[in-house]
Amino acid sequence: TYADIFSEGLALISYSDMAGDVIYYKYIDKTGNMIIAVKGGTPSVYANFSDGVALMIDAESKYFFINKTGSPISADRYEFAEQFSDGLASVCNEGKCGYIDNTGKVVIPLNYVAASPFFNGFATVTILSEAGNEISQIIDKTGKVLGSY
């Protein structure tokens, strides 16, 4: 049995069946009532709720997000994703990364080779130059480049 910290009023707990073969996950509120029984996925290492959603991993090791009712925020699945930070989450597919909002809408296109989480309105992304060199850039939440290094 495992219990995580509370985040946005919910905490993830896990427990196994009597044989220890199957692990179950659910989110509880501060009174111990089950709020969400996790179905169709396993919580990622970023299982806490942030900006109203939690990051999950499906049976094919694809990342997706659920809302506080346990429903996926969209049908999209990603090869990699980060927890929401500053209202956006970094997601990657086919070697390209970008950002989605907490409804699942792509708000900054998947045009980067790497995309870090936003912090105080800014994030670091990486692009490839024409020569194939990696260039890091600082962007704002609209995707505007504020500087390169």
Write the pLDDT tens digit of every residue in 63-119: 999 999 989 999 999 999 999 999 999 999 999 999 999 999 999 999 999 999 999
In this structure, what are the phi and psi dihedrals at residue 82, rounded to the nearest 5 degrees? Answer: -110, 160
Answer whether 87's CB lies under 8 Å from 118's CB: yes
Answer whether 99's CB lies under 8 Å from 83's CB: no
Rounded to two decimals, the pTM is: 0.86
Look at residues 92, 72, 83, 77 and name the one whose alpha carbon lies nearest to residue 49.
83
Residue 68 neighbours by CB under 8 Å, 6+ apart: 8, 10, 35, 36, 49, 52, 53
